[in-house]
Amino acid sequence: MARAVFPHAARVAFHDGDQPLIAHDPTTGVYLTYRFEPHAGGTLRLTGGAIGPRTLAIGCDEADLELVAGLLLDGLQASAPQPGPR
């Protein structure tokens, strides 16, 4: 099961108006923003933290948002350098 990335209150605000969904993942330091544009569809953007100075933008449906965001964050966490013996 995918982890919940976007809080329930943010989802309610998203459906009540033209506000993007915004979340921060403390493990990776990544900020996630999801916005739906009627003619373009939904876009999930990841910035900062493990992404660095880049922006990663991926098109996805709201129904798949938690799954896509969770998989991306899990992948970033798994690929981060791990402290080890020197």
From residue 12, alpha-carbon distances to 23, 25, 30, 33, 46 in Å are: 14, 19, 22, 15, 21
pLDDT above 90: percentage of residues in the chain: 43
Encode pLDDT of 27-52 as tens digits: 999 999 999 887 888 899 999 999 99
CA of residue 7 relative to chain centroid, distance: 12
Instruction: Tell me the pTM.
Output: 0.80
Sign, CA torsion 59/65/70/71: negative
Number of other residues whose CB lies within 10 A of the CB of residue 21: 22
